[in-house]
Amino acid sequence: MTPADLDIARQSTLLARLPAPLQAKLMEGAQVQSFDTGQTVFLQDDPAGALFIVLDGWVKLYRVAPSGAEAVVSVMTRGRSFGEAVALRDMPYPVSAEAITPARLVRIDATRLRNLLQSDPVLATSMLASTYVHLQQLVEQVEHLKARSGVQRVAEFLLDLSTCAEGGCSVTLPYNKALIAGRLGMKPESLSRAFARLRQHGVRIDAAQAHIDDLDALRDLAAEDPAKAWMR
C-alpha cells in the first residue's frame, strides 16, 4: 500500500475519527485489491468476510429481487467505505458489490476487526459513527426519491460531481446513463427526459460530459419545492 493509498484510507468515514495509532492498528494486514470493470467484489448473501474502502474507481452496491430486477442501492467512489455493519455482526452481505470501472479497494478482514473491537472501545465508537453516517446517507437518499422530482435528482447528481464553486462548469459522467438512472431511482427514458428539461436551465449533455452554464441557478433548481410546479 502506497503512502497515497494510506492517506485516502485515513480520510474515509471508517478511519477519519480514529487517532493515528488506531488507524495504523486497523490497517495492519489490510490488502489492496484491484478489480476490472464488471468484476464482482462480493455477492448478496455471501458471508461478510471483509469491509472495504475505495481507493480508485467506482463500485455499485445493488440487490437482485426474486423477479430478477436489479435495484441500485448506492454507488461508491474514492474514500467511501462499505460493508461495516454486516462485518461487525458477522452476517451475510445484504447487497452485491461490483466494480463499474477499474477499481482499487482496501480489504480489511472482518474477523480481525471484531477481535480489535472487543479490546478497544474507541475503535468501537468510531465504527458506530461510521455506520451512522451510512444510515444518514440512506435516509437522505430516500428523502430525495420521495420529495424531489426527477429533474431535481439529476441536478443534485451533477452538482455533487462538480468541482467548481460558482459560475460555469463541465463535469464528466462517471458511469453509463443506465446506471445513473438506477442510482437516481429512474428509468433510462425518464433520465433522458430529465436531461432534455435541464437544457432550459443551462445544462447541456454531450456524450459523457455535462456542461453547466450557472451552478447557482442549478442549485436553486435542486432546492426548489417541487410543489411549486402545481402553482404555476
Burial of 154 (0-12, 13-18, 19+ CB in 10 A): buried
Span 160-177, average pLDDT: 88
pLDDT for 24 beyond 70: yes
User: Would you state the cell numbers that stand for residue 75, as one nine-digit string?
Assistant: 454507488
Quote the CA–CA distance of 191 and 177 in Å, as a whole number.
8
> Other CB atoms closer than 10 Å to residue 48's CB: what's the count?
20
Q: Identify whether the C-beta of residue 96 lies closer than 8 Å to the C-beta of residue 39.
A: no
Quote the CA–CA distance of 65 and 42 in Å, as a whole number.
17
Quote the CA–CA distance of 72 and 70 in Å, as a whole number.
6
Q: What is the DSSP string of 98-125?
A: EESSSEEEEEEEHHHHHHHHHH-HHHHH
> Which pLDDT score, from 0 to 100, does residue 132 have?
66
User: At 155, which helix (H) or strand (E)?
Assistant: helix 150-161
Quote the CA–CA distance of 157 and 203 in Å, as a whole number.
13
> Which pLDDT score, from 0 to 100, does residue 123 have?
74
Which residue is associated with the grid cell 452481505?
A: 93
pLDDT for 229 beyond 60: no
Span 153-179, average pLDDT: 88
Quote the CA–CA distance of 129 and 185 in Å, as a whole number.
27
> Other CB atoms closer than 10 Å to residue 169's CB: what's the count?
19
Span 183-190, average pLDDT: 87
Q: Identify whether the C-beta of residue 126 lies closer than 8 Å to the C-beta of residue 18.
A: yes
Contacts of 156 (CB under 8 A, 6+ apart): 144, 148, 222
Quote the CA–CA distance of 4 and 25 in Å, as a whole number.
18
- At 130, is the pLDDT very low, low, confident or very high (cuts 50, 70, 90)? low
Quote the CA–CA distance of 16 and 1 in Å, as a whole number.
18
Q: Give strand pairing partners of 174.
A: none
> Which pLDDT score, from 0 to 100, does residue 146 have?
61
- At 231, is the pLDDT very low, low, confident or very high (cuts 50, 70, 90)? very low
